[in-house]
Amino acid sequence: MELMLAVFSLLFLFATQASPPLDQVLKYIDDHQDDYVQHLKEWVAIQSESGSPAKRDDVIQMIQIVGERIKSLGGSVELADLGNEELPNGRIIPLPPVVLGELGKDPNKITVCIYGHVDVQPARIEDGWATDPYVLTEKDGNLYGRGASDDKGPVLAWLHAIEAFQALKQELPVNLKFIFEAMEESGSKGLNELLSEKNETFFSSVDYIVISDSGWLSEKPVLTYGTRGLCYFFVEVKCAKQDLHSGLYGGTVHEAMTDLIGLLDSLVNSSGHILIPGINVDVAPLTEEERLLYKAIEFNPEDFKNTIGTTELLHESKEDVLLHRWRFPSLSIHGIEGAFSGPGAKTVIPAKVTGKFSIRLVPDMDPEKLNNQVTTYLNRVFAERRSPNKMQVTLKSGSRAWIARFTDKQYVAGRRATNKVFGVDAEMIREGGTIPIARTLQHTTQKSVMLLPIGGAGDAIHSQNEKISRGNYINGTKLFAAYIAEISQL
Ligand SMILES: *[C@@H]1O[C@H](CO)[C@@H](O)[C@H](O)[C@H]1NC(C)=O
Ligand SMILES: *[C@@H]1O[C@H](CO)[C@@H](O)[C@H](O)[C@H]1NC(C)=O
Ligand SMILES: *[C@@H]1O[C@H](CO)[C@@H](O)[C@H](O)[C@H]1NC(C)=O
């Protein structure tokens, strides 16, 4: 009897001490972090620069490796062919295929679709990297290498999270689908068409779409529910059939550059206020509820200012800086093509100059309407100058802002997963930049989209010395595992 009791209590002890399944997965991830770093090293070594035609074979090799990885997890993969790309010199090269993967089709489980990309921005050690950009190098807890944060690290983190469930013989609690591409850094050519084409098939069973291709705002984990759109304008002024000498012609002609500077100066005032009439009519009014979201965010305008190396920002309070970064439109002047910009004092009067500026769009601004407002306004400003020159405004590209339905269940799962792994509440943020895929996926499929980034605030993506911290990479892997567990329970 006593023995039986002893056995019984031992069993009881065992049962209560065995950790819950998710905790086992998280521990497994911790224990295998060196393997995960090694895998990232192998991926970073592949120079998958989508913008460098000479590297196209590497890009294709990279996406094929991703396909094989999904197959090794037991998934099925379609390598969707996007055809060819014609380069500016007329040469035709193949576009890398898109990986459409699927793992599990249990009708009783929900289906989560993960988006990521495995192409990278170009990188050369001569650009000022401290280490070879294609040799992942760990220093002071950071993993340096092109693509470490954008976006090979996050893609691998998802695959490792899935692997961890499988290694522990735990059934995955959700069905998974994957869209992994390798042209993201070069405008995702052909992707939109593919997504539309697959709407009724690949996407029909998808419940939630998660994108991990952005970063945190501070040291705190985030859920990102909006991005701004972008309209990029060219304004061209032409005054002569060729460049002129200011000694011979200065004082006699209406100079193109003078007109252009006047036009550019009419766009925004020195407080950052956009002067184009009507620009704000479609900006969705800010609700009190939203303002409260901004109050809760950890963000220090002083640090932000110091990181940039500027003495004063356009706005003072934390809320105003963030609102103007994410929630209101902004206008930036980028450059003047055709202007003299070399060293020295050349006395040229350029014959034709093209000013380049862009406007970041927020909900519910419309690119076409904005184009009309900008064109009408610049034509009026130009007419007031009474210049005989030729002026032309062109909208080069236009994309709308994206805003998620952030009350959707997957945001709840994201919050719970963040709490589980990091022990803090996720910050609800937006991005001031543009991640076209977020809007495209939501708009095309009408499914819930969430950005669940694991990159750090200072990862220097697209820049020299890109990195991801080991902490973000490994905890990010755990976050994805926890998200999978949490979303399956909602
Ligand atoms: C810019 O325009 C806004 C709105 O009209 C105005 O409040 C602000 O004072 C202007 N800034 C300057 C420096 O003129
Ligand atoms: C895609 O399919 C969804 C239903 O799953 C539908 O609501 C949506 O309108 C479709 N999108 C397009 C562009 O047809
Ligand atoms: C992960 O996050 C926890 C909690 O914030 C932290 O203590 C730990 O150092 C992080 N890094 C790793 C590699 O787990």
Q: Ligand 1 pocket: which of 265, 273, 312, 314 to mutate (most atoms <8 Å of CB)?
A: 273
Is the C-beta atom of 311 inside 6 A of ligand 1? no
Q: How far is the CA of 203 from the centre of ligand 3 (A)?
A: 35
Three state DSSP letters for 12-66:
HHHHHHCCCHHHHHHHHHHHCHHHHHHHHHHHHCCCCECCCHHHHHHHHHHHHHH
Give the confidence band of 15 by pLDDT, cuts at 50, 70, 90.
very low
Query: For 151, which DSSP code?
Result: T
Ligand located closest to 448 CA: 2
- Average pLDDT of the segment spanning 131-156: 98
Q: Give the model's pLDDT for residue 4.
A: 55
Write down all domains in the chain, each with its CATH number in brackets.
20-227+401-487 (3.40.630.10), 230-283+328-399 (3.30.70.360)
Is the C-beta atom of 269 inside 6 A of ligand 1? yes
Has residue 3 got a pLDDT over 70?
no
Has residue 357 got a pLDDT over 50?
yes
Q: How far is the CA of 473 from the centre of ligand 1 (A)?
A: 44
Is the C-beta atom of 270 inside 6 A of ligand 1? yes
- Average pLDDT of the segment spanning 88-107: 97
pTM above 0.85, yes or no: yes
Of 414, 355, 366, the C-alpha closest to 233 is 355
Give the confidence band of 2 by pLDDT, cuts at 50, 70, 90.
low
Q: How far is the CA of 480 from the centre of ligand 3 (A)?
A: 15
* Residues annotated as part of the active site: 119, 184
- Strands 142-144 and 348-349 come out as unpaired
Is the C-beta atom of 199 inside 6 A of ligand 2? yes
Query: Within a 13 Å sphere around the CA of 320, how many CA atoms are in the beta-carbon half?
Result: 7
Give the confidence band of 289 by pLDDT, cuts at 50, 70, 90.
confident
Identify the residues whose C-beta falls under 6 Å from ligand 3.
422-423, 470-471, 474-475
Is the C-beta atom of 192 inside 6 A of ligand 2? no
Q: Give the model's pLDDT for residue 406.
A: 86
Give the confidence band of 432 by pLDDT, cuts at 50, 70, 90.
very high
Ligand located closest to 476 CA: 3
Q: Give the model's pLDDT for residue 308.
A: 86
- Strands 222-227 and 427-431 come out as parallel
Digit-coded pLDDT (tens) for 183-212: 999 989 899 999 999 999 999 999 999 999
Q: Before 265, cis peptide (omega within 30)?
A: no
- The mean pLDDT of the chain is 95
Is the C-beta atom of 445 inside 6 A of ligand 2? yes
Of all residues in the chain, the percent with pLDDT exceeding 90 is 91
Q: How far is the CA of 104 from the centre of ligand 3 (A)?
A: 31
Host H or E run for residue 355: strand 352-361
Q: How far is the CA of 217 from the centre of ligand 1 (A)?
A: 29
Q: How far is the CA of 178 from the centre of ligand 2 (A)?
A: 18
Is the C-beta atom of 446 inside 6 A of ligand 2? yes
Digit-coded pLDDT (tens) for 434-447: 889 999 999 999 99
Q: Give the model's pLDDT for residue 129.
A: 97
The partner residues of 77 in beta bridges, in order of sequence, read: 101
- Average pLDDT of the segment spanning 272-299: 94
Crossing angle of the two packed helices 470-487 and 21-31, in degrees rounded to 10: 160
Give the confidence band of 278 by pLDDT, cuts at 50, 70, 90.
very high
Q: Give the model's pLDDT for residue 18.
A: 63
For residues 444 and 457, the answer to whether their CB atoms sit within 8 Å is no
Has residue 84 got a pLDDT over 60?
yes
Of 70, 65, 67, the C-alpha closest to 79 is 67
Digit-coded pLDDT (tens) for 214-268: 999 999 999 999 999 999 999 999 999 999 999 999 999 999 999 999 999 999 9
CA gap 121, 134 in Å, rounded: 12
Closest ligand 2 atom, CA of 199? 1
Least confident of 15-19, 154-158, 284-288: 15-19
Collapsing DSSP to helix, strand or coil, 323 comes out as helix
Ligand located closest to 37 CA: 3
Q: Give the model's pLDDT for residue 342.
A: 95
Least confident of 9-23, 155-169, 296-310, 413-427: 9-23
Ligand located closest to 280 CA: 1
Alpha helices per DSSP H over 45-174: 56-72, 152-167
CA gap 401, 387 in Å, rounded: 36
**Block residue for tokens 């009439």:** 277
Give the confidence band of 286 by pLDDT, cuts at 50, 70, 90.
very high
Q: How far is the CA of 116 from the centre of ligand 1 (A)?
A: 42
Q: Give the model's pLDDT for residue 17.
A: 55
Q: Ligand 2 pocket: which of 111, 197, 199 to mutate (most atoms <8 Å of CB)?
A: 199
CA gap 268, 276 in Å, rounded: 8
Of all residues in the chain, the percent with pLDDT exceeding 70 is 96
Is the C-beta atom of 280 inside 6 A of ligand 1? no
- Average pLDDT of the segment spanning 381-386: 98
For residues 157 and 143, the answer to whether their CB atoms sit within 8 Å is no
- Average pLDDT of the segment spanning 377-394: 98
